[in-house]
Structures are given as C-alpha cells and as structure tokens.
Chain A
Amino acid sequence: MLSRVIQRRFNSSQTASNLKKTALYDLHVALGGTMVPFAGYSMPVLYQGQTHIESHNWTRTNAGLFDVSHMLQSRLTGAGATEFLHKVTPTDFQALEQGNGTLSVLLNEHGGIVDDTLITKQRENDFYVVTNAGCIERDSEFIRSEIKNFTGDCQWDVVQGRSLLALQGPKAHEVFEPLLREGQTVKDLFFGQRRSYELFNGIPVDVARSGYTGEDGFEISLPNDKAVEFAQLLLDNQHTKPIGLAARDSLRLEAGMCLYGHELNEDTTPVEAALRWVISKSRRAGEGTKFNGYEKIMDQINSNSYSDVRIGFKYLKKGPAARTDAKIFLPDNKTQVGVVTSGSASPSLGNINIGQGYVSKANRKTGTQLSVQVRNKFFPIELAKLPLVPTHYYKP
C-alpha cells in the first residue's frame, strides 16, 4: 500500500502528456506544484514548501489561491432560458435577482442529480453556469438532449478561453480590492453576487463572491492570456499562497459541501442529499414548468417516501479515518444503517476525523451515536450538523 500510494503520487506526471493544461500550468510547476491527473487535467495537488495541513489552515486564516479553470463555464441564453432552467433544475430562476447566483442541481427525469452547479442570472434570460470538470461529458450530453426536447428558445454555449481562479479566506478581500481600478469596491458585493470589474491595469474580470471552502472569497473569471499576470499579482501579496486540490477537498468537507461522485450521483435526489433548499418553495406547487422528477421529489417531501439521507459526522475518539464506502452501523456494530461518502481528519478541528455519508432516515438526527467500520475495527461517531466547521460568508 505504501508503495502504491507513492507510485501513484510520483508517477502521476508520466501521463501528463495526455492531459489538458490550464493557462496557469507553467505557473503551478514553477511554484513547485505536485501535478496530478484530475478530471482530464493536470492539476496541482500540493505546492512545495507547504504541507496539506498548512495549506488548509492558511486558507482558513489568510488567503488561498486556487486554479479552478478546469471547471466548465457556460452560458444559457434565449427567450426561453429561464423556462429551460425550470425544467432541468428545481430552483426559481424567475425570482432570482439579476447579478445574483445560487447553487442548484441538474435533474434527470427520475429526479436524480446529474451535477451540482452554480448558476448566476446576468440579465433576464442570460445565465452564467459553472459545472464540474469531472461531469463535462455527461453534462453536455444531458443539456444538449434536454434542449433538443425543449420547445422554447434556449442556447447553451461553453465559455471559451477564460480561466477561473478562486481566492478564498478571511483576507481574500484585503488582497483583491487593492488590485481594482480606483473607485471600485467589493464592499457591496455580497455572498452569491457576481459583477464585472476592471483591474488597475485594465484587465476586465468577472467576480463572484462565492467558493468551495466555507470562507469568504471570490471566484474570478478572466481571459486566459491575462490569467498568469493576475495570479502573480495576487501571489505578490504576502497573505496569499497557492493552494492545491488536497486542501480544497478537506476544506469543502468541513464546510459541508458535496463532491459530485461522492455525496451526489444520478440515483440521488436533492431531498436525499439534504439539499431541499435548492427546491424553491415557489416551484413546489407545480405551476408552470415542472422540473424533472417533480412527482418523485414532491412525494419525498410530502410523504417522506425516501429511505436514506445525507448527514455529517464526527468521531468520538481517535482512530483511522472512515473514508469513502466505509460502513456505518448502530452502536451494536452489527446493524448497518449507512455508508460513508467522504471522510478524513479535519485540520480545523484538531485533526479529529469527520465525514459525510448517508444513513437511514430514522437515524439521521444530530447527536445520534453510531459507529463506523475501518478495516476490521469499529469506531464510535456522532452525527453532527453541517457545516462541521462554521462558515464565514460575506453577507449584508
């Protein structure tokens, strides 16, 4: 096992020639990034001079710069764009104000989650959509087929030639604001909002106050040919360090966020995924366009007709982490009631083990004591409210 882990980590660059590179690839390498294959891209998992835990803690206390250009940026436009979104998501995009974005889910005909996505209303019937890198093929197939069957006017276009950088952490605004052209500010850009800005050197950037760490921060879209210069400017600030995929995963796990393929898949509905809040109240009555899987999802809400639900947990004592696919039991260590979808030590909680998983509805309550099996041993856990570490979003 030891040798396998090492092989995987050290040989990962061998296949790099088949992998796509983001505009920041050379910068990652120059910064000493350990590059690994991720969703078809060669991406940095960790940078020289920082351990995983140091990267994690740096983002919670300063500002971490993440290259998330591998994620798919796209646009939905046309007179029927809102109606189309109402077919493929359960969220009310008519009521959403311009310049605001929200997390939502793409639903298949059975109400299963094709992908989770951040969708921003730029103007009436003009939406900016960010979806997962790992889902590009399935998402494209899904959206194209849905558009084909849609009678209204809606176009879907992949945004080409733009990088996406996330600057996350309590000092993110201190790092970013001084780079704006004079007179511009992010003080009135609140969590979920997105706006166009211009940097002091004339570079145009689209800035969303959002992220995947639970901290305040920004996701900034800009032309590829300006991305390195911009990243360098951010890194010139002593509060900023480049942060890789390793810390990105531990940060999102603490923040209670889902990772597609772990917490979410096409057999899981937003009700089961404990994401009811993406199902807008105004969409539940079924007036106008019904979202995919409407009957099933509404029945789950109204009649509790589902069995398992996503939960968070913490260990009650030390032990090896319960990772993906570890089984969850009643305290008798015999009756299985669930399964772990993500788990690791939590750097923000003194390295106690935490995780997310699914358990049967009857055992979902916060404070319920259960156990997890790791190899042949059992370790007691307690279900805990998500997020497992408090979030710090910038809200009015």
Chain B
Amino acid sequence: MFARALVRPSGTNGILRLFLRAQSTNALTKTSLPFTYSTSGPSKVLYTNQHEWIAAHQDGTAFVGITTYAADALGDATYVELPEPETELEAGESVGSVESVKSASEIYQPVAGTVLEANSALEESPQLINEDPMGAAWIAKIKINDAKDLETSGLLTLEAYEESLKHDEH
C-alpha cells in the first residue's frame, strides 16, 4: 500500500516527501507507552522480517507490536486476540492475532519471554492498530528471558527492516 504511495505522485517533490515519510513510518511513536516506559526511552527497537517490532527497555521489560507496513497491508483491524498474562512464550510462538474483515494474521513473539500484560485498549478499539501501530497499539508487554537474545535472534534494525521492505515490494 505505501509501496504504491511511493510511486504514484508524478512530481519529484511528491516522491521525495513520501519517501522521507516512509523512512520514518516504521519508527516507534515517541509519545506512547512503549517509548515512555523508561524516561530515556527504550534501549533497543528491533524488527522481525515477519513485521513485528519489539521495544526493549533497560530493566528487561519489552513491548511487542506490528509495524505500520503490516497494519497498512492488513487493512481495518476488527479484532485483536490478546495473550493471557503470565504466558511463557518461546521466540516464534504466537503472542496474539489481528483480524481484518478479510483475513486473520498471527503475531509472533520476537524473543523468548513471559507476558506481563496485554494491551486491553485493543479490546474496545481494535482500530488503534491502524491509527498508531508503532505506539498506542502495542499488543503485549513482556519480560524478556535473556537480553542477549536480542543480539542473537536475527532481529533487524529499523534501517535493515526498511531495506528489506524495498525487496518485498519488487
């Protein structure tokens, strides 16, 4: 969807403006809890090639959600299936799912950890997934088992993730 937005405007200025916006589209929203949980912000924000993000804080707490790219591709969210607190999940296990009218998609845990809390705001307002997927629509707050997993699980930086999207779009 934003792949199309990138190519449609005819003027160079339009392309440049959209390109800049696209570059920051999958960055964490600075005003929402996944960022503001620590005063200094998360120590790491990383991405999976299946379009999840994880914002990890110094104390081992992390927030998990889906990227703007994924939310745009799914369309209007109509229901979000949330995890139960205290669920222990390995990397790659399902932490929830997002439904649109047309389809349902699993969300996978980026690294092993235990669910501390699910974002209950999504129960009443699944559309948050489309409005602020990189912030207010965080899906789970988790305790990471081992911070080293963030380095060794093949997670992507924002730059690497957005680079991978360019290949997705061809």
Contacts and interface: CB of A to CB of B under 8 A. Distances in A.
A3 interface: yes
B74 A5 contact: yes
A323 B76 contact: no
Residue picked from B76, B101, B104, most chain A C-beta under 10 Å: B101
B4 A48 contact: yes
Contacts of A321: 78-79, 99, 104
B119 to A, nearest CB: 15
Interface stretch (B15-23, B32-40, B49-57, B154-162): B49-57
Contacts of B4: 32, 34, 48
Given A34-B1, A319-B79, A2 B100 contact: no
A323 B104 contact: yes
A3 B75 contact: no
Nearest to A319: B79
Contacts of B148: none
Given A2-B51, A320-B99, A53 B76 contact: yes
Interface string B42-81: 0000000111100000000000001001100111101101
B17 to A, nearest CB: 17
Interface string B88-108: 000000000111111111111
A246 interface: yes
Interface residues of B, number: 35
A262 B67 CA distance: 32
Interface in B104-118: 104-108
Interface string A320-363: 11010000000000000000000011010001010000000000
B163 interface: no
Contacts of A344: 101-102
B8 interface: yes
A95 interface: no
A5 B103 contact: yes
Given A2-B51, A32-B4, A320-B79, A246 B74 contact: no
Residue picked from B50, B99, B169, most chain A C-beta under 10 Å: B99
Contact of A6 (B51, B99, B130): B51
Given A10-B168, A52-B101, A5 B73 contact: yes
Nearest to A377: B81
Residue picked from B75, B102, B103, most chain A C-beta under 10 Å: B102
Contacts, number: 88
Contacts of B149: none
A276 interface: no
Given A10-B3, A10-B168, A32-B8, A52 B51 contact: no
B99 A345 contact: yes
Nearest to A246: B102
Nearest to B97: A320
A333 B103 CA distance: 24
Interface string A19-33: 000000000000010
B101 A345 contact: yes
A9 B73 contact: yes
A9 B100 CA distance: 14
A323 B99 CA distance: 11
A349 to B, nearest CB: 11
Contacts of B86: none
A319 B81 CA distance: 7
Given A2-B50, A2-B106, A246 B79 contact: no
A52 B99 contact: no
B8 A48 contact: yes
13 contacts: A1-B104, A1-B105, A2-B98, A5-B73, A6-B51, A34-B4, A46-B75, A52-B100, A53-B78, A250-B101, A320-B81, A320-B104, A347-B101
Given A52-B75, A52-B100, A53-B78, 9 more contacts: A2-B51, A5-B103, A34-B1, A46-B75, A318-B79, A320-B81, A321-B78, A344-B101, A344-B102
Nearest first, the 4 closest Cβ-Cβ pairs linking A and B are A345-B78, A1-B106, A3-B50, A53-B76
